[in-house]
Amino acid sequence: MQCLALFCTVLVNYGYTMCLGIPGRIVSVREDDGLPSGKIDFGGAVKDACLAYVPEAKVGDYVIVHAGFAISVVDEAEARQVFRYLEEWDRAVAEQDT
């Protein structure tokens, strides 16, 4: 997700420190060392995350992931709204830099 990488870069460049929880869609679920884990799709970038905090989550659900841990299940509409906010941020930053 390009806008997320840009968002994080901009925050660091302007001296901000922020922890982000980003929504992603679960594409697979498995167990790792007895803990539920899964592959999470963040707009094309697929990463691993621990699902222990959201045992109700299943393939196709959207989850908020922070530091490699899914911390809550969100509905698709909420996840898409966050993606729109990040895209708006991306455009605003690009306009400022021109």
Domain boundaries, the chain: 2-89
The answer to whether the CB of 29 falls within 8 A of the CB of 50 is: no
CATH architecture of 2-89: Roll (2.30)
Residue 84 confidence class, pLDDT cut points 50, 70, 90: confident
Report d(CA 91, CA 3) in Å as an integer. 9
Residue 2 confidence class, pLDDT cut points 50, 70, 90: very low
Mean pLDDT of the chain: 82
Q: Is the pTM of this model over 0.95?
A: no
Q: How far apart are the first and last CA of the chain?
A: 22
Q: What is the pLDDT of residues 50-82, one digit of tens each?
A: 999 999 999 999 999 988 999 999 999 988 888
